[in-house]
Amino acid sequence: MELTYRLQELDRAVDYILQNTKSKTLLFYGEMGAGKTTLIKELVKALGVQDVASSPTFSLVNHYESDRGSVYHFDFYRIEDDTEALDMGIEDYLDSDNWNLIEWPEKIERLLGENTQKLSIEVNSEETRTLKFC
C-alpha cells in the first residue's frame, strides 16, 4: 500500500495513515529532510491535540494530550545506542495504549515489539513524497 502526495496535501497522507494503520505505534523511516516531522505534526493535529507539535530532537520525546488520550512523539536521531531509550523508559510507552509516533526507529530496532506499524517516506521531488506501509 502506498500513497503519493504533494506537500500541500498532508491531510490526505494523514487520513491514509489513520485509515490503514494496524497499530498506534507508528515507525517513520525516511532520509533526513524527507518530511517525517512535518507529517507527524499534521498527524498530531488530526488526533485532536490543540498544542502545536514540535520536534523532540533534544528532549527525545514530546508529550501531548487530546480528547483521544496521550500522544507521544519520539525522535531518536541523536541517541548513540538504544540504552538511552531504555533509560527513558521506552518500554513503558510501547506497552501503553497511547499513540507513539517514532522518528529514526532504526536506532532502537531491537527494542520494538510486534505491535508496530512501519511507514517509509520517499522523496520524489521537492513537492511530492510517497508514503508506504511496510
What CATH number did the domain enclosing 67 receive? 3.40.50.300
* Average pLDDT score over residue span 17-42: 96
Q: Is the pLDDT of residue 12 over 70?
A: yes
pTM over 0.85: yes
Q: Quick one: which of 73, 44, 69 has its CA closest to 58?
A: 73
Number of domains in the chain: 1
User: Is 130 in contact with 39 (CB distance < 8 Å)?
Assistant: no
What pLDDT is attached to residue 99? Answer: 97
Report the amino acid identity of residue 23.
Answer: S
- Sheet arrangement for strand 99-103: 2-6, 128-133, 117-123, 25-29, 99-103, 69-75, 61-66
What pLDDT is attached to residue 59? Answer: 79
pLDDT (tens digit per residue) in 110-131: 999 889 999 999 999 999 999 9
Measured CA to CA, the distance from residue 87 to residue 67 in angstroms comes to: 29
Q: Is the pLDDT of residue 54 over 90?
A: no
Measured CA to CA, the distance from residue 18 to residue 24 in angstroms comes to: 9
The residue range of the domain holding 45 is 2-133
What pLDDT is attached to residue 57? Answer: 67
What pLDDT is attached to residue 56? Answer: 75
